[in-house]
Structure 1
């Protein structure tokens, strides 16, 4: 880098004469940033990109308002004990160096535990120790290194930021210039002679040149920046051929008017950029629409138990929660809203929010934050504010829980685009070389037309638009996918594994019989109160069946997944679960699912469940068996084996007495043999299996126990539609391949006319964005047709 250029930000440093470490800086701010990075061994920042920083602004006293606790509380996403989380919008994020330094903030200050950048939204989510560090300190640190957050005090709330209107301005400039240049070009088009040629032709040509300057250097700047960064990173992105075409058109046109040998191609140049930006604007609007559909209409099918004024309980959807409501939170349930603890022993796991598996105990009157999971029986809370469904989406999609279930399709698209760009450049060079020999007057037209007509934008658009619309359609059909990558993974599966209880069985239709010693009133009350704290499907079914009793606040409560639950109230102790768990052994073989009960270490009896299977189960399995290996993995005994054998296809594997760890190992083994596994479970006992599978689907019956381990949530009422949803995922991949084919055909036809010199650059400039728009229209129509078929 030149000694006259600032090493940190790249600005002119000639007049300042500020040096440090044999490096020049434009101001003391940039020098200070370099010193900070150097002292903390973070100078790798400058290896990723030359002069990647921005000049820090004067920040003395600027953030004193962040000492106001009310303002800070509104800005924070999470605030409990010594941990605070804030999501800050940072407009200066622009390259890989920015991401690298912002995700290494913990090296600048050890009180910062983690920071995750969302490059698309230009935001960073920071978790820090509030005892040792404050939000003001954090914002000051970010500003001092050139990444000043944007914080609006007019309407401060989490996540609000300015709307970026730069694309609209650039489109307006390009459209204005394109229209005027077209008017100025009319005499040339109609070959007007005489007075025009003698007096005004030079003036009009220079006016066209003037109009083209802001279009090239302002409207088209994003394409230049993207191509430049791609080439510096040794990546041939799709903007490289666009920039080549723009440069060739501009330089050739300028050369013609300077030498007064022609009017140039300013109309084609500005038309190209205008139509490119118009296609980009259309794409942005469509993405905004899809994002809106995803955030605000794709509600999870989860609910919560509301305690009414008459001390009765009712299940409501989470988005019906209002301030002041009294809610019951069961063991392993997620807290959907900020609230105050009123009753019960709370032990909260905030790993959903912070990513750290550390539980905290809370007392009556303490504030509980949305996203915490209760781990110690039931609690009652008063709601402080209504739920934001998009916040639950954020929890579910938190980067903390990203696993190795990687998205391959985007990589395939990028790979195709890269090869496409190299091929097009070669075609352009070969065709130009041919016309240099045959007819040099057509060389420029051929070269620019090839570069413009064959841009792989249509290929790059097909996957995101198809997947985005499929996400929206499936969400409306009560099948909620975590992200677009799940669609492709779902299309690749060849093995489907089902849990039994709560998955293929319908809890609400199950009949239950009790055999054993009569339970006293106090024992029944203790049994009811204990079951009230569990979210296991069998517990919920049994709880609904028992007569009403006075609910007691348990002294202790513990749930052993795959075994049972135990609780204590005063001098009474109860265990509910499998026979070995409650300490009972029997020689009598059981043919149905059973739940055993013991109180004060004395065996009392058992509840026998006569399962009712979900509507359409047999038809669903018969449809699935034609294409997939089917397996039932159940933690229950083999009592239902005969019934399932009659109900399900002959080749279905039935495995019983499977512990949660057994299910996980079964999936892992078959994956090592090449299986692509879809696991369908209840989201509670099956968390490990759901996480291990290629795709994990949690069945939900309005129970607020979804897990970050699952990739999708399926409303129980739509269980019989599972095969159709998988078919839609496969159809989505076919649609993308059809888009590739259409784009290929379009490019072959366009390239023929371009290479043979029959295609004017302005026509190519119009056709190129039209091809992208046609791909978007095609994907939208075809995916909507798929959605109609589901109805």
Structure 2
């Protein structure tokens, strides 16, 4: 670092630089940032990149408006007594050092508990303690370290992402340099040995050299930066051979004109950079045009119960929620949108949002935030705005809840491309050595052409485009997959475990008959209202069967997973669930599923359920039996064994009386034996099993199923197509392998012409992006064909 430049931001320090620890700083802002890093042992920030900070602007008083509650409400996505969460748009985010420092904000301010960067959107989501800090302090800290957020005062929103035109500028500079260098090269191309060439050829060559400097050091800087960071991290990324090829061309050409050996390869160099950037530009446009990456959010399948003006409860999709709608939230249901609590006792678990499982008590009139989960019976709220699908999906994908299923899982791209760059570098050096010994004039062209023609961009694009497009197709067919890696894991499944109740059985089609002492009017009222607050499939079935009753607010409501529900109103305490849970001394009936009821610890009777299975279950199991080990794990008794034996293939394992922990242990055991397990359940009692399995699929009826444990959500009406979805996942792997094969064929053919000296670097630069675009088109067309077959 030069003494005249700022150690933090790289700007000139002027005549009187500030000094600290033998380092120069241009202003107190940069000096303060360095002091903060130094005090918190974060000076390795400067190892990532020279002068990584931007010069802080004058910000005194600029953000005083962030002290106003009205504005804070607009800018924050979550507020409680102790925690606030805000997502801020940071235009300065541009590299790995930016991500590193922004995700270490908690070391600069201990009131910040978490900060997560979305590099594509250039946003940082900050969680902080609002008792000891504030949004204003967070914004001032970001500004002080050179990452000033963009906040629009017009609509109180974090600014929308600005169009990044840097690629266009670099492409323009490269195009200008390429065109002029080609023009200046014409006399030597046509070997015009007349007076004006002999007199001016040296001047032309030096002009070409000057024109190439901005092409190499500005237009191509991203390749050098990426290659340098990769090498620093001891990784041979795809930009290493490109940067090496550009460097060799530039150095060789500079040496040739400096020693009057020849005119060099400045035309090829400028053309190479121009066509590389042009290819990147078209890839970016193609990617944006297909726009599949997050389209599946539009179909996110959370249903919610709306109470209409007549007081009738109807189930609607969350994206149909409008401001002012009255919504019913049952026990364990997610609050999909910000709202005001109207009735009921709120005990909200905001762990989806904050990562902290401590519940917050709310009463009528309090504001509730999207992402909270009600854990104390039923509540009603009034929606303050429409739902944001992207926000719900962000909660679903929150890293706080993502089980480390990726551990030990190697993607197909990593497996194939692991040694790609090393192999290409070896071929380039061997071929160059051969030509140095036989024909020196071809050596540099061969070296550069090999490095460029074999760029593994096509390999890198195959999997993201294939899986991304399939995500979109699955979403339209009501199979909602969390991310691309889930599809890859789906293709490796060899064992499928099904829950029975609510998964294989159709809740609405089931019947129930009551046996025992009749409930009085008060008990019937409390029973109906207790069932109204539960999402368990048997509760929903029984609720639909029972006669309508008035709505009352229960004094207490507790749901015991895998056992039952207890509730109290006035002086009546009901228990609903298994015989042992309600305290029944009767002999359990093992012939059918039963739900027992007691009132004030006195046994009343039981409802016996006669299950009806979903349409297409028998056909689905017959399709699956040839390819997978099939298991049904049920928490019910063995009364349905005979019916299931008639319905399902003979090899299907049927295991009953399974508690949630039993299901989890069963899956763990089979995984230890080498099985890749997919669990299909209702997302309520099966959360542990869904999380433990390689792929957990939650079945969604008309209730608000939202579990961080599941990897996919399947609309109940589409369960019969599960085999087709699994086949499509395997088909996606085949498409990727075919695209890899096409890429390798292209590389082999290209390498042959490059190694034999028949391919100019500039032609290689044109062919490289064309190969990438062709792979994108191939994978997109093939996955669309897969999608048509599914339909």
Q: TM-score range by the shorter chain?
A: over 0.9
Which residues of structure 2 form unaligned runs of 5+?
none
- 2:636 aligns with 636
Cα gap change, 1:374/1:28 in structure 2, threshold over 3 Å: closer, same or farther?
A: same
Q: How far apart are the structure 2 equivalents of 1:728 and 1:626?
A: 17
CA offset at residue 755 of structure 1? 1.0
Match of 1:353 in 2: 353
Aligned residue runs from structure 1 range 711-722, under 5 A: 711-722=711-722
**Counterpart residue number, 1:455:** 455
Deviates more, 1:166-175 or 1:720-729: 166-175
The separation in 1 between residues aligned to 2:183 and 2:525, in whole angstroms, is 87
Cα distance, 1:134 vs. partner?
A: 0.8
Does the aligned pair in 2 maintain the 1:753–1:759 contact within 8 Å? yes
Per the TM alignment, residue 154 of structure 1 is displaced from its structure 2 partner at its CA by 3.9
- CA apart distance, 1:395: 1.1
The answer on whether the counterparts of 1:511 and 1:610 sit within 8 Å (CA) in structure 2 is yes
Q: Does 1:621 align with 2:621?
A: yes
Q: 1:297 to 1:406 in 2, by over 3 A?
A: closer
- Is contact 1:299-1:475 (8 Å) kept? yes
Cα offset, 1:233, TM superposition: 2.1
Q: 2:663 corresponds to which residue?
A: 663
Deviation at 1:370, TM superposition (A): 0.6
Q: Residue 596 of structure 1 corresponds to which residue in structure 2?
A: 596
Q: Aligned to 1:399, what secondary structure does the other structure show?
A: coil
2:92 corresponds in structure 1 to 92
State the partner residue of 1:413: 413
Question: Would you say the 8 A contact 1:151–1:161 is kept in 2?
Answer: no
Report the secondary structure of 2:137's partner residue.
Answer: helix
Q: Distance in 1 between matches of 2:264 and 2:427?
A: 24
Alpha-carbon spacing, 1:56–1:588, altered in 2? closer, same or farther (3 Å): closer
Instruction: Name which of structure 1's ranges 713-722 and 276-285 shifts more when overlaid on structure 2.
Output: 276-285
SS in 1 for 2:299: coil
Q: Which moved more, 1:450-459 or 1:215-224?
A: 215-224
Q: Is the 8 A contact 2:469 2:783 kept in 1?
A: yes
Which moved further from structure 2: 426-435 or 359-368? 426-435
Call closer, same or farther: CA 1:744–1:409 in 2, change over 3 Å: farther
Measured at CA, do residues 218 and 536 of structure 1 come closer, stay the same or move farther in structure 2, by a change above 3 Å? same
CA drift at 1:94? 4.4
Contact persistence 1:633–1:656 (CA under 8 A): yes
Partner of 1:312: 312
> Is 1:52–1:95's contact at 8 Å kept on the other side of the alignment?
no
C-alpha separation in 2, matches of 1:35 and 1:634: 60
Matched, 1:537 2:554: no
Count residues with an aligned counterpart: 791
1:111 aligns with 2:107: no
Superposed CA deviations along residues 745-766 of structure 1, whole A, max 9, x for unmatched, are 1111111111111112221111
C-alpha contact (below 8 Å) 1:302/1:701 kept by paired residues = no
Equivalent in the alignment of 1:727: 727
**What's the CA shift string for 1:469-497, capped at 9, x where partnerless?**
11111111111111111111111111111
Paired residues for 1:203-602 under 5 Å: 208-257=208-257, 262-289=262-289, 291=291, 294-295=294-295, 298-406=298-406, 413-414=413-414, 416-417=416-417, 419-587=419-587, 589-602=589-602
1:687 aligns with 2:693: no
Contact 1:466 1:736 in 2 (8 A): yes
Determine the C-alpha separation between the residues in 2 that align with 1:240 and 1:726.
Answer: 38
Q: Which residue of 2 aligns with 1:123?
A: 123
C-alpha distance 115-248 of structure 1, shift in aligned 2 (>3 A): same
Report the RMSD for the aligned CA atoms in angstroms. 2.4
Deviation at 1:204, TM superposition (A): 5.8
Check conservation: 1:667, 1:677, Cα contact below 8 A: yes
Q: Shift of the alpha carbon at 1:379?
A: 0.6
The SS at the match of 1:492 is coil
CA distance in 1, matches of 2:154, 2:416: 46
* CA positional deviation for 1:601: 2.1
- Give the whole-Å Cα distance in 2 for the aligned partners of 1:17 and 1:157: 38
Report deviation, 1:164: 1.5
Question: Are 1:38 and 2:38 an aligned pair?
Answer: yes
**Conserved in 2, the CA contact under 8 Å of 1:296 and 1:390?**
no
Q: CA deviation at 1:50?
A: 5.3
CA offsets, 1:619-649, max 9 Å, x none?
Answer: 1111112121111111111110111111111
- Range with bigger deviation, 121-130 or 624-633: 121-130
Deviations 1:555-583 (A, max 9, x none): 11111111111111111221111111111
- Higher mean C-alpha displacement, 456-465 vs 273-282: 273-282
Q: Secondary structure at the match of 1:400?
A: coil
How far apart are 1:293 and its partner, in Å? 5.9
- TM-superposition CA deviations, 1:238-273 (whole Å, max 9, x none): 111111212222333444455666554333223322
Checking the alignment, whether the CA contact within 8 Å between 1:347 and 1:360 is kept in structure 2 is: yes
Tell me the SS of whatever aligns to 2:551: coil
CA contact (8 A) 1:414 1:460 kept: no
Separation (CA, whole Å) in 1 of partners of 2:269 and 2:408: 36
TM-superposed deviation, 1:184: 5.3
Residue in structure 2 matched with residue 709 of structure 1 by the alignment: 709
Give the superposition deviation at 1:419: 2.0
Distance, in Å, in 2 between the alignment partners of 1:414 and 1:271 is 31
Structure 2 residue matching 1:390: 3-state secondary structure? helix
Determine the C-alpha separation between the residues in 2 that align with 1:426 and 1:590: 70
What residue number does 2:609 align with?
609
Change (3 A) 1:115 1:437: same
Q: Is the 8 A contact 2:151 2:158 kept in 1?
A: no
Name the stretch that deviates more: 198-207 or 687-696. 198-207
Instruction: Please tell me whether the aligned partners of residues 304 and 316 of structure 1 are also in contact (alpha carbons under 8 angstroms).
Output: yes
SS class of match (1:401): coil
Distance 1:408 1:253 in 2: 47
Deviation for aligned residue 1:33 = 1.6
CA gap of 1:432–1:107, structure 2 versus 1, over 3 A, is closer
Q: Which has the larger displacement, 690-699 or 760-769?
A: 760-769
**Which residue is equivalent to 1:146?**
146
Q: Which stretch of structure 1 is more off in the superposition, 560-569 or 273-282?
A: 273-282
Map of 1:22 onto structure 2: 22
Shift of the 417–362 alpha-carbon distance from structure 1 to 2, 3 Å rule, reads same
Tell me, in whole angstroms, the C-alpha distance in 1 between the residues paired with 2:629 and 2:397.
29
Given that residues 20 and 31 in structure 2 are in contact (C-alpha distance below 8 angstroms), is that contact kept between their aligned partners in structure 1?
Answer: yes
The separation in 1 between residues aligned to 2:739 and 2:104, in whole angstroms, is 40
Shift of 1:292: 5.8
What is residue 169 of structure 2 aligned with on the other side? 169
- TM-score normalized with structure 1 length: 0.95
Matched residue of 2:106: which SS? helix
Is residue 296–residue 475 contact of structure 2 (8 Å, CA) maintained in 1? no
Range with greater deviation from structure 2 (707-716 or 183-192): 183-192
Name the counterpart of 2:785: 785
Q: Is the contact made by 1:187 and 1:196 (CA closer than 8 Å) also made in structure 2?
A: no
Q: Where does residue 157 of structure 1 map in the other structure?
A: 157
Matched residue, 1:649: 649
The one-character-per-residue Cα deviations of 1:2-58 (angstroms, maximum 9, x if unpaired) are 655544344555844433233333333222222222333434444555544343333
- Greater shift, 630-639 or 250-259, is seen at 250-259
Deviates more, 1:87-96 or 1:492-501: 87-96
Q: Are the structure 2 counterparts of residues 553 and 744 from structure 1 closer, same or farther at C-alpha, using a change threshold of 3 Å?
A: same
1:127-138 to structure 2, matched below 5 A, reads 127-138=127-138
CA distance in 1 between partners of 2:776 and 2:449 (Å): 23
1:554 Cα shift?
Answer: 0.9
How far 1:312 sits from its partner (Å)? 0.9
Q: Kindly provide the CA deviation profile for residues 596-634 of structure 1, in whole angstroms up to 9, marking residues without a partner as x.
A: 122222222211111111111111111112121111111
Query: Do the aligned residues in 1 keep the contact of 2:297 with 2:393 (CA within 8 Å)?
Result: no
User: Normalising to structure 2: TM-score of the pair?
Assistant: 0.95
Counterpart CA distance in 1 for 2:502 and 2:91 is: 47
- C-alpha distance in structure 1 between counterparts of 2:588 and 2:485, whole Å: 49
